[in-house]
Amino acid sequence: MWSAYGGFTLDAMGVQLYAFILPTLLGLWGLSGSRASTLAAAALLAGAVGGWAAGSLSDRIGRVRILRVTIAWLAVSTAFCGLANSYNEFLIARIIQGVGFGAEWAVGAVFLGEVAAPAARGRTIGAVQSAWATGWLFAAATTSLALWLLPANLGWRAVFFIGLLPAIWIFCLRMRLHEAVDHGRSARVASWHGIFARPMIGRTVRGTLLATGTHGGYWALATWWPAMLRIERKMSLGQSTVYFAALVGGSFVGYYLSGWVSDRYGRRVTLATFASGGVATVLATTLLPLSPVAFLILSACLGLFALGIYSSVGAVLIELFPRQLSGSGLGFCYNLGRGLAGVGPLAVGSSIGSMGIAHSIGLYVTVAYALVLLATVLLPETRGSELGTMAAPG
């Protein structure tokens, strides 16, 4: 459990550092909105490849072996970002980082799904998924501290090296991990393209739709929210950190609440409730003239809905597929959805000139959560499903 929590924390921190150093890079490098969005989208698109490839490979040779590789890849590639001296170098580093970013969550989530009891799978995934909020908070805190202590041209680089030592500790923990099931037997009947065979293709499409909507809403927020606080709301670095901490604090509650509700009342009810709540709160925070106190409270509510929904998404994607296809299925749906969601940050960046950051966020997050609601109608209820095996096609 701790190796998964630690890995998810570094995963979140490493990829989210970009959003927090973005206001600094906009000034130092003179990045346009479209170029800044491309750097965000590149990691997401690379994550789609890394997640599917790692998930498929883990179906064949086991989750633990892949998890040892992903944590090392993630730490080293994140450090590469801090060495970039030009836009093109940073873009390449973000692509390499994105591969490890997608692989770590995809394989880690399936491993958790295999060790968790079916009746508590939502709560188990929710508890470990809260590591994303921990990593997000670490990214905000370390960036604020580095930019306060160091010159801007050094501070933004320093933050990308912070995860190296924790990664060594997590790697050592994973050297003592054992597989939850024997994957050697499954590998003889499973195939990476089994998720596209007739019995599975419908679930693959619906799972991808769910992941695209969930990621689309989150990444539009995560990429541009810090910049919106600093640029449009004219907050200082310290003030923006407080408001962002409220959003992250709300997400902690959301992860646990979503996991509990999904185990008790079902995945579909939870998805619909959290997506609707996300739409309501993002429209309120981006369209209404709120007082500082009201904005702070609604920021926490936005974090609860926008991040909490992931606890249910992870459980659904694990339960949609038989065990010998779960790595490939979750890896493909979750990470292709994340890759497609790269359109969100790009769309926000291209709309800033005409709509402003806040209104652009509100529009594209609403569209994304509408996709989640559509997917919820189409998906079967999977609460309490056993991760059984079947004669996997192809």
Q: Convert the pLDDT of each residue in 29-39 to its tens digit.
A: 988 877 888 88
Q: pLDDT per residue over 153-202, tens digit each? A: 999 999 999 989 999 999 999 998 887 766 555 444 456 577 888 888 99
**pTM of the predicted protein model:** 0.79
Q: What is the pLDDT of residues 285-316, one digit of tens each?
A: 999 988 999 999 999 999 999 888 988 898 89
- The range of the structural domain enclosing residue 247 comes to 2-378
pLDDT at position 14 is 87
- Looking at residue 5, what is its pLDDT? 86
Average pLDDT over all residues of the chain = 86
pLDDT at 140: 83
Task: Name the least confident of 123-127, 213-217, 342-346.
Answer: 342-346
Q: How many residues does the chain have?
A: 394
Residue 344 within a domain: yes
The pLDDT value given to residue 394: 36
Q: What is the pLDDT, as a whole number, of residue 191?
A: 61
Task: Specify the pLDDT at position 181.
Answer: 67
What is the number of other CB atoms lying within 10 angstroms of the CB of residue 143?
28
| Position 383 in a domain | no
pLDDT of residue 81: 94
Helix axes 2-28, 164-174, angle to 10 degrees: 160
Distance in angstroms (rounded) separating the CA atoms of residues 298 and 320: 33
Query: Is 390 part of a structural domain of the chain?
Result: no
Task: Give 41-97 pLDDT, tens digit per residue.
Answer: 888 888 888 988 888 888 888 889 999 999 999 999 999 999 999 999 999 999 999
Please indicate, yes or no, if residue 308 is contained in any of the structural domains. yes
Q: Could you read off the pLDDT of 5-19 as tens digits, one per residue?
A: 888 899 889 888 988
Of 374 and 191, more confident: 374
- The CATH number assigned to the domain holding 74 equals 1.20.1250.20
Report pLDDT digits (tens) over 130-147. 888 888 888 888 998 998
Residue 95 lies in a domain: yes
Instruction: Check residue 318 and give its pLDDT.
Output: 86
Q: How many domains does the chain have?
A: 1
Give the confidence band of 393 by pLDDT, cuts at 50, 70, 90: very low
pLDDT of residue 377: 95
Residue 115 located in a structural domain: yes
Is 391 part of any domain?
Answer: no
